[in-house]
Structure formats: structure tokens, C-alpha cells
Amino acid sequence: MIAYTLLILLVAGERLAEVALSRRHLAWARRRGGVEYGRRHYPGFVAVQVLLLAGAPLEAWLLHRPFIPALGWPMLTAAVLAQGLRWWCIGSLRERWNTRVVTVPGLPLVDRGPYRFLRHPNYVAVIAEGVALPLVHTAWLTASVFTVANLGMLAVRLRVENAALDQASPAGAVSGPR
């Protein structure tokens, strides 16, 4: 159980690093005339992530969820792969990545990395991690609640992001975890 708590703390630390990077990238975008879309949904998006990172270890500790190797190891692998996909997205978007939806006038859409294959690959990582991370230690309630809440938030986020892409000029580009 201690190892699982450490895993969650590592992921939480990674999220804090993402927030710091996002702030730098948002400032970069704003200096270039970047326009933010969908500000109102952002706090809900953050709350759902906090639910995941707080709920999983609390459920594991309070409800005495066991580590079941046949489930835990594949889920840990999936969570690590999801992190890899997330950082591939961040690396592909470079300065244009942030946790908000921002268009920067005059920049072409990113078509490298996972964006060659999917319009919103980061959300594949978010969904996979949201299921896998709690299930590493059989926190199935957290995985279920997070998945439902996250799908609701992603539905809003995708509408906002797709509208931003549609409003951007053909030479425009969206930054953010597409």
C-alpha cells in the first residue's frame, strides 16, 4: 500500500510539473496573441483530476483494497504507457501545449508525433490513466466515478476545443492537451 501511495504522489508531482509548464506555455501563447477558449469549464477539469489523485489512495487505504498482481501489474503498465503518450503529446506540441485551450494566430496545426494519427491523442492518455491508475490497487469505485465524471468533462472540453479549431484561421493552431 505504501508503494501505491508513492506512485500516486509521483503522478501528483508530475501534474504539478505540468501546471508549471502550462503556465509558461500560456504566457508564451499570450505574448503571441493567443486567445483562450472555455475558461469556465477549467475548474471542473481540475476538480476531476484531484478526484482521481485523492480518491484512488483513499479508497485503497480506507476500503482495504488489495493489490491483485493479475490486475495491478497490467494496470501499472497501462498507466505508465499513458504517461508516455501524454509526454509525447507535450513534446510534439512544444510551447503550444498547455492545460487550457488556446489558439495562436498564424501558426499551422501540429501534425507531428501522435497528432499524425489522432486529433486529440492526449485525451486517450487521460482516459487510459483514469481507468488504470486506480485499478493498480483495485480502487474500482474511483476508477468508475472518475471515468463517468471525466467523460462528462471531456465532452465539454472537446466541444470547446473543436470550436476553437474551427474558429481559428486555416493557418491557426490550437495549443493544449489535444
What would the pLDDT profile of 74-116 be if each residue is shown by its tens digit?
999 999 999 999 999 999 999 999 999 999 998 888 899 999 9
Q: What is the dihedral of CA 175, 92, 48, 15, to 10 degrees?
A: -110
Give the torsion sign (CA, 145, 148, 151, 152). negative
* 82 within 8 A of 125, measured Cβ to Cβ: yes
Domain boundaries, the chain: 2-175
**Which residues in the chain land under pLDDT 50?**
171-174, 177-178
Residue partners of 11: CB distance under 8 A and separation at least 6 = 53, 79, 83, 129, 133
Amino acid identity, position 144: S
pLDDT confidence of residue 170 = 56
Cell numbers 508564451: residue: 28
Roughly what angle, to the nearest 10 degrees, separates helices 42-62 and 121-135?
Answer: 20
C-alpha distances in angstroms, 70 versus 73, 75, 96, 104? 6, 9, 39, 46
Cell numbers 467523460: residue: 151
- Specify the 3-state DSSP secondary structure of 130: helix
Q: In what helix (H) or strand (E) does residue 129 lie, and over which residues does it extend?
A: helix 121-135
Amino acid identity, position 154: L
- CATH of span 2-175: 1.20.120.1630
Assessment of whether the complete model's pTM goes beyond 0.85: yes
Strand order in the sheet with 101-104: 35-37, 101-104, 173-175
Grid cell in block for residue 68: 491483485
